[in-house]
Structure 1
Amino acid sequence: MAVPKRRMSRANTHARRSQWKASVPTLVACQNKACGQPKPPHVACPTCGQYAGRRAVTPA
């Protein structure tokens, strides 16, 4: 098993972790004109239950 020989410096640790961050979720407006709520793309709307212009699921 590989074990580091020396402790990694704080600068190197921060440089490695600088790219490790959360991304903002992509949201699009619902195609239903009456709804228009933000929802993830390619997913049925959780508010009105429509996907691609037709009823896909019953809204929660």
Structure 2
Amino acid sequence: MATTLVVTQIRSEIGGKRQHRETLRSLGLKRIGHTVEKPDSPEVRGMVRAVRHLVTVEEK
């Protein structure tokens, strides 16, 4: 079975770069404390790496 990544936004996007805000939206995150499950793929890991200071990630 393919693994999934559980991504939770822990910091605000306000004051951040536009690209970081857009990356959070692409991941489906809308507010602090919001959690989404994404398939573990190189694309998703790249997006998470770009905003790693704003999110936490767990493997499921």
The TM-score, its normalising length taken from structure 1, stands at 0.27
Q: Which has the higher contact order (CA 8 A, sep 6+)?
A: 2
Q: Where is the helix percentage greater, Structure 1 or Structure 2?
A: 2
TM-score between both structures, scaled by the size of structure 2: 0.27
